[in-house]
Amino acid sequence: MHYKITLHRIVFGLTVLSLFIMQTACHNFYMISKTPVTVATNDIEQLKLQNRDFILRSGTTAWYMKEVTLSADQKTLQCTLDSLPPQHKLHLSKGRRGKLRYKTNSPETNVLNEVHFYSPADEAAKPGAVYTLALDKVQKIEVLEKDKGRTTGSYVIGAIGYTIGAFMVAGIIIAATKSSCPFVSAYDGNDFSLQGEIYGGAIYPQLCRNDYIKLKMAPDANGGLQLKISNELKERQYTDLAELMVVTHDKNSKILSDEQGNLYSIEKPEPPVAATLSNHKDVLAPLLYAGDNQLLHFDDTLAAAATNELVLKFNNPTNTKKAKLVLALKNS
């Protein structure tokens, strides 16, 4: 029984690294631009002129401040308190995942226009109440703005992550197109020529199986037959048993094996005279030639009515009751 292991630690590591970078990059950040212990009244006036959203953080409760005015002596702020709208709750948890992050093209962008006043808990702070905030009781003020540097850096890292991802995908494609199954080569009288690959797709022990391949060989100078099984990529491959079967047969016949190792003698195979795909499309021409340059489009959808059916018709010149169907197939 045979199987191979194709898990490459480098590819896995690049996958994890790429996914980690892309998960931690391409984000938008805001910052707290001012956190003074005491409030400068000229700053408050300037923020009002910018039509900022003022938010009161009284103890553990947050309120939306409407109709904010600064007293003549510049010692208090008067406003009407209201419940905090959902679009202004992002900074209550310091942004997304507590990392001062926000999502663009969403109500979360309102965080860039907010000013938060922190003060001790006050029972007078109630929804609908006209509230006076003594500026000497304010513990700190947070003016929120876009963090351009951190956001730009995030997108640069994201670009690097996507580039790594693109190279990783390209590497996987290259590795996939360069088949990673054990290569079988045979001596043809002059050199070792590639004959094919064995147990393709058996990437887990549970998928191990026997496999058979027809070889074109010629004896060496000593009359012996030489066979080589090679591992072309950096992976583990397990082959428990390798046997060479030599069959003597008529030169006009061809010996083929099924997947159980049963041998069949084929003489004068009849090509199909008609071939129709599920959608009644005539596909005879591509099936008459060896090679993989012909393409048939099968239905690979998950629709209930999806069917893949190929109807073949053959001539039966000898009126035989039994026949062998010979398929020239390659795994993908």
Closest Cα partner for 242 from 184, 303, 168?
Answer: 184
pLDDT beyond 80 at 183? yes
What's the pLDDT tens digit per position in 246-273? 888 888 898 888 888 889 888 888 889 9
Cα–Cα distance list, 3 to 9, 196, 214, 241 (Å): 18, 16, 20, 11
What's the pLDDT tens digit per position in 143-179? 999 888 887 776 554 554 455 555 555 555 555 445 4
pLDDT beyond 50 at 28? yes
**For the stretch 231-242, what's the b/e string if a residue is b when 16 or more beta carbons lie within 10 angstroms of its beta carbon?**
eeeeeebebeee
* Cα gap 195→257, rounded to integer Å: 15
Task: Name the residue with higher pLDDT: 291 or 325.
Answer: 325
What's the pLDDT tens digit per position in 184-196? 899 988 888 888 8
Sequence-distant (6+) residues with CB within 8 A of 105 are none
Are the C-beta atoms of residues 110 and 88 closer than 8 Å to each other?
yes
Q: Where are the domains of the chain?
A: 10-151
pTM for the whole structure: 0.43
